[in-house]
Structure 1
Amino acid sequence: MTRRLLPALIPLLPRGHRLVEPFVGGGSVFLASDFPSFLLADANPDLVELYGVVRSDLGSLIERLQTLFVDSNRSLEAYIALRNTYNETNDPLEKASLFIYLNRFGFNGLCRYNRRGRFNVPYGRPTKVPSLPTAQLVASSERLQRAELRCSDFTTVMKSAREGDVVYCDPPYVDQDHAKSLAGYVPNGFDVGRHEELVDVARFLASKGIPVVVSNHDSVLAREMYRHATVHTVQVQRTISARAASRVKAAELIAVF
């Protein structure tokens, strides 16, 4: 979910005691909202582990990042070597710091894995060393002190919601009407059947008085899937395309169950 959706999204989130995010991703929503507590989950174990390190060992993480965000690592050769290290290491601090490095030095901040579960985003060729996101990390660490973290499938997380919760879902987007969406955020992908599962659980929770908000492309398929929800349309600047001329505004929707 792009941060550019936040001005439209945040006012549509109902009040509640806890925000539940089954697809926490980059965390922009929980950082922009102000719920008393959070349940943040994702199917990507590396991402959940990163949040755990940010919460419990921020000082060590920033120290390690300072050795990575240097000009000698701003090259294809350095990027490939560090990407290989990321794919091989099991050390939580090393994995977390390299996750952030790859996000900032890789192509358009993408997170993508092949079928073998290996991170495979190409080098982004930054013209200068990207800025170290210290302020964002500090803010995240503070907010994460009142969050529960889980690595879990979205259906399990959603079904654990209780009275007083608000559920926000930012799943991998369905295809646009005339263009494919990014695939490969998780090795097994996220097909239409999974989107239909999400809608079924959202409707069930809504019937129990637990609101669910979902963002997605505004497409014929999405409109059909979310026909039982209240749908809001937003024009958002897209930045995934490799060609600047192709980065135009696209319609996205916010479905409120």
Structure 2
Amino acid sequence: MFMLSFDEASLQKPKPFLKWVGGKTQLINEIDQMISYQISQHKELTYVEPFVGGGAVLFHVLSKFSQIKNIVINDINLNLISAYKLIREDCQNLISLLTNIEQDYYSLDSIEAQQEFYLAKREEFNQEPKDTQFGLLTQTALMLFLNKTCFNGLYRVNKKGQFNVPFGKYKQPNICHTNNLISVHKNLQKVKILQGDFEQTLKYAQPPTLFYLDPPYKPIKSTSAFTSYSSERFNDEDQVRLKQFCDQIHSNGHYFVLSNSDVKNFNQENTFFDDLYEHYKIKRVKARRSINSKGDGRGELFELLVTNF
């Protein structure tokens, strides 16, 4: 049976265990400078991510800023948060199950057989999960498998909350990245994990706290809203509610960094975010979007970083 190894010297730096659309890997340097500034100003700092997603910034923080002892993450996506919790609490059994799924998948001798296997696992994932430890374990293993074998690593659900991404046709994807899962498991031990609306995270802030906010992006074109991460859509009213949340953070004496799309990429007259955050600092940063269903949505675009410091 597989046994976890905790040799500190051999542990790699934790990386996102899921491929996640909108991941912040390309903006890490800019965000890193902002986090580093706040750490230089405060001996103790609470760090909160109300929209953790794939966790690119979280794992960067865990790797580089070990002096941050109080970390809180949250997301509305129940399957995603269940995966974070299960990797933290039952990583050994997850790796064993995921390895078995990987071996079964690799043993198939045709892309057609692999696609049939994928569709069967997708259907199983979309069934009502059993509220047992084995049910959560199976659901998380299926989520990781589907993420590594579906088209472009998307996580997209329909209005019923069912995962509906087609098969990706990869020859031999790395389904079970054991070393990274062990590293993620160890690093998550000091992280408080929440599931629900972003507003609930405010009560976990204690001066001084830095919030990193990475909400579902506002579509930059009317045709680009093809992805949803949960059955609850994040519309313009939610964007305004999020701005009001930032106002609360600011009035409570905390700090925030917020990332979002730059709607001016295709329409210079669209001042939605410029107007919404006019009292805060807005920085436009180049970022290449590599995951998009349409070619004109790929390539170098600008994204926004908004701060109150």
TM-score by length of 1: 0.92
Task: Confirm or deny: 8 A CA contact 2:257 2:307 kept in the other structure.
Answer: yes
Q: Please, what is the CA RMSD of the aligned residues?
A: 2.0
Aligned partner of residue 206 in structure 1, secondary structure: helix
Could you tell me how far apart the structure 1 residues matched to 2:298 and 2:221 are?
A: 17
Residues 222-245 of structure 1: CA deviation (Å, up to 9, x unaligned): 333222221122111111124668
Moved more, 17-26 or 238-247: 238-247
- Specify whether residues 72 and 243 from structure 1 end up closer, same or farther in structure 2 by C-alpha distance, changes over 3 A only: farther
Deviation at 1:204, TM superposition (A): 1.7
The aligned residue for residue 55 of structure 1 is 88
The aligned residue for residue 209 of structure 2 is 165
- Specify whether residues 132 and 118 from structure 1 end up closer, same or farther in structure 2 by C-alpha distance, changes over 3 A only: same
Q: Which amino acid aligns with 2:257?
A: V
Instruction: Give 1:66's match in structure 2, choosing from 99, 102, 105.
Output: 99
The aligned residue for residue 234 of structure 1 is 285
The aligned residue for residue 243 of structure 2 is 199
Could you tell me how far apart the structure 2 residues matched to 1:228 and 1:136 are?
A: 41
Q: Is 1:81 aligned to residue 116 of structure 2?
A: no
* Runs of 4+ that moved beyond 6 A: none
For 1:130-145, what aligned pairs fall within 5 Å after superposition?
A: 130-145=174-189
Count of residues paired in the alignment: 257
Moved more, 203-212 or 127-136: 127-136
- Specify whether residues 24 and 129 from structure 1 end up closer, same or farther in structure 2 by C-alpha distance, changes over 3 A only: same
Aligned partner of residue 252 in structure 1, secondary structure: strand
Instruction: Give 2:163's match in structure 1, choosing from 108, 119, 122.
Output: 119
Q: Is 1:30 aligned to residue 30 of structure 2?
A: no
Could you tell me how far apart the structure 2 residues matched to 1:36 and 1:173 are?
A: 29
Residues 159-213 of structure 1: CA deviation (Å, up to 9, x unaligned): 5422122111110000115752443211021001001101101112112210011
Q: Which amino acid aligns with 1:59?
A: Q
Gaps of 5+ in 2: 1-21, 264-270
- Specify whether residues 231 and 135 from structure 1 end up closer, same or farther in structure 2 by C-alpha distance, changes over 3 A only: farther
Residues 43-100 of structure 1: CA deviation (Å, up to 9, x unaligned): 1111111111100111111111111223247622111100111112321100111111
- Specify whether residues 182 and 23 from structure 1 end up closer, same or farther in structure 2 by C-alpha distance, changes over 3 A only: farther
Task: Confirm or deny: 8 A CA contact 1:174 1:222 kept in the other structure.
Answer: no
Which protein shows a greater Rg? 2
Could you tell me how far apart the structure 2 residues matched to 1:24 and 1:128 are?
A: 28
Gaps of 5+ in 1: none
Task: Confirm or deny: 8 A CA contact 1:173 1:181 kept in the other structure.
Answer: no
Moved more, 3-12 or 196-205: 3-12
Q: Is 1:108 aligned to residue 158 of structure 2?
A: no
Task: Confirm or deny: 8 A CA contact 1:71 1:129 kept in the other structure.
Answer: no
Deviation at 1:133, TM superposition (A): 2.4
Q: Which amino acid aligns with 1:155?
A: E
Could you tell me how far apart the structure 2 residues matched to 1:245 and 1:200 are?
A: 33
Aligned partner of residue 58 in structure 1, secondary structure: helix
Could you tell me how far apart the structure 2 residues matched to 1:182 and 1:243 are?
A: 10
